[in-house]
Amino acid sequence: MMIPFKRKALSTAMVLLGLTACGGGGGAGAGLSVAGSPPSSGISGSGNSVEGTISAFGSIFVNGVEFETDDAEIFRDGQLVTEGELGVGMVVLVRGEINDDGTTGTASVVVVDGFVEGPIDEITVSADGDSKQISVLGIDVIVERTGTVFDDVTFETLAVGDVVEVSGFPEPGNNLRATRVEKESDFIEGETAVELEGLISDRTDTTFTLGRYSVDYSSADLSDLGGETLQDGDRVEVYGTLVDLTITATKVEFEDDVIDEVEVDDDVSVEGTISDFVNIGDFKVNGIAVDGSAAVITPSGLTVANGLIVEVEGLWNGQLLVAESIETRRGRIEIEATVSGVDADAGTITLGLGDNAVVVTVNSRTLFDDDTDRIARLSIRDIVVGDFLEVEAYRDGETLIATRVDREESDEEISVQGLVEDFTPGVDVTVFGTSYDVTLAEFEDDDGNRLSLEAFFDRIAIGDLIEIEADAAAPTFALEVEFESSDRFDGGLEFDDDDDDFDDDESEDDVDDESDQDELEDDGSEEDESEDDGSEEDGSEDDESEDDGSEEDDVEDDA
């Protein structure tokens, strides 16, 4: 069944799919439009399009709005499917109506939009082992041990030759930060389906170039082009099969510009990666120009900078999004520990850390994933004392807000990533109120280089972000201690492919060929320095002036 959409969208949206308990939050109203990197077809008709985190199934929570999906049409890869095809971490488009209360609504259409699908060419593991860069059809995909959802494959078992479908957010340069990686099959040349989107060049009547690939579209279904002729520079999504560097297309469709038909004064909500940051009044999210100079920022200490994944809401003025709110969607605080208490009604989970405990709060945007496979769609009400969780969070005032909660099989080790609150040179370090004996620990800097005990304490300062691993049987005796970047996600420094001119419309034009890859990586190291300068400008001042709260906010806000 074809998706009944026109090329140009009334409004479009990208949604990060997550699982949690039902909850409120988020504002909306009649005429709400949401922009983001869209699925391949626009949506016609009246109603609302919303970008945000889906927090439950049966009803879909997006930016705090609960959409009923009982009568919704759900499409994946152009085919009508059931809700069971939806999975945590997917990027989807939701179209529907929002009620006057601003917190409930009805979805009419849900479209799953994978960014790329194809065989893994290459895998590079980060020095600390917490992230990998995989190459899929020329796209450099960063996957995280904690931040990426895996289906039919794990972080550890990813292998060259696996055919995977990847959802995620484009980052500056050629990187895609994966929110979900789903294994489809093993690759069979000329038979296995692949999917790739980007800007075309060198078009003829039968072929065009997409990144490193030549696309033969002579026999493809072009019905979604609406009778238009492909032109160089068009953004398209291609489905087909692959032999060597040639994709034989079975279908080609346009990728819309998400702001084509958003009207002046429409409410818009964008979730994605910040790029082209000049100042708070001049940056982009998923290629959408944003003025955040009057926005309410959550948490209040957030340092808005390149590379952050945020949700921005505001009004479209015809040229840019005038933001009313900016909220971080990732955190740099991470805890791997056993649950010692749960209050589902209050939305809190208590994690045991030796003699102390840490309380985290979940909300309608928290992504839940059950890696134990005990339940398909996890919520806080499924979590019990004794469960082992991996939690990612940021601090908002005195509260730790969980952005991700993964239930794992029990582990013999616990891990804490947080800000240094105190230390005794050569003896111990305090994080989250727990003092960890580090006399027998191994130490690493944030590049994965080994440090001696003396070198570690020569460098450490109050407010530094560090990760501590300990034996669960002796939770206050550190086995490993590592410095961590406060403003970059796992793999963000090591696999940086940035270029200064990145925007969402140009990133696909940089889909690499092998001859350009080294240049991209070299440019990435320079951009990393420039981005760090931009993102740490406020943070470095905080490091000097405040040893506690402001630094902690900066660390978590950049996540």
pLDDT at 424: 98
pLDDT band at 132 (very low <50, low <70, confident <90, very high): very high
State pLDDT tens for residues 288-308: 899 999 999 999 989 999 989
Mean pLDDT of 130-139: 94
Question: Domain segments of the chain: what residues?
Answer: 15-112, 193-254, 333-483
What percent of the chain shows pLDDT beyond 90?
A: 52
Torsion over CA: 266, 269, 275, 278 (sign):
positive
Least reliable range by pLDDT among 433-437, 488-492, 510-514: 510-514
- The Cα–Cα gap between 410 and 389 comes to 8
CATH superfamily membership of 333-483: Copper binding periplasmic protein CusF (2.40.50.320)
> What is the C-alpha to C-alpha distance for residues 181 and 183, in angstroms, rounded to an integer?
7
Quote the pLDDT of residue 49: 53
Query: Which pLDDT value is given to residue 383?
Result: 97
Q: What is the pTM of this model?
A: 0.77
Measured between alpha carbons, how far is 147 from 329 in angstroms, rounded to an integer? 11
- Can you give the pLDDT at residue 38? 34
Residue 144's pLDDT is: 94
Least confident of 149-153, 282-286, 331-335, 552-556: 552-556
274, 304 in Cβ contact below 8 A?
Answer: yes
SS3 state of residue 285: strand
Average pLDDT over the chain reads 80
Query: Hey, which CATH number is domain 193-254, 1.10.12, 1.25.40, 1.10.3470, 2.40.50?
Result: 2.40.50
Q: Which position has the higher pLDDT, 507 or 59?
A: 59
**pLDDT recorded at residue 161:** 93
Of 132-136, 165-169, 502-506, highest mean pLDDT: 132-136
Q: Identify any residues that bridge with 556 across adjacent strands, giving them in sequence order.
A: none
pLDDT one-digit tens code per residue, 224-267: 898 999 999 999 999 999 999 999 999 999 875 556 557 888 87
Provide CB contacts within 8 A for 82, sequence distance 6+: 74
Highest mean pLDDT among 94-98, 132-136, 172-176, 539-543: 132-136
Quote the longest CA-to-CA distance of the chain.
72
Q: For residue 482, what is the enclosing H or E element?
A: strand 474-483
Taking 50 as the threshold, does the pLDDT of residue 16 lie above it?
Answer: no
Lowest-confidence segment of 172-176, 362-366, 450-454, 512-516 by average pLDDT: 512-516
Report the pLDDT value the prediction gives residue 451, as an integer from 0 to 100.
Answer: 97
pLDDT reported for residue 8: 29
H-helix or E-strand spanning residue 551: helix 549-557
Q: What is the pLDDT of residue 51?
A: 52
Tokens of 548: 């506690």
Q: Is 226 left (phi over 0), alpha (psi -120 to 50) or beta?
A: left
Q: What's the pLDDT at 50?
A: 55
CA distance 360 to 556: 14
pLDDT 10s digits, 416-471? 999 999 999 999 999 999 999 999 999 999 888 999 999 999 999 999 999 999 99
Confidence of residue 492 (pLDDT cuts 50, 70, 90): confident
pLDDT at 544 > cutoff 70? no
Residue from 204, 44, 33, 182 nearest 109 by CA: 44
pLDDT over 50 (residue 17) = no
pLDDT at 319: 93
Query: For position 29, what pLDDT does the model report?
Result: 32
Q: Bigger pLDDT: 220 or 257?
A: 220
The pLDDT score that the predictor gives to residue 260 is: 57
- Give, in order, the Cα–Cα distances in Å from 488 to each of 404, 444, 496, 559: 17, 17, 10, 7
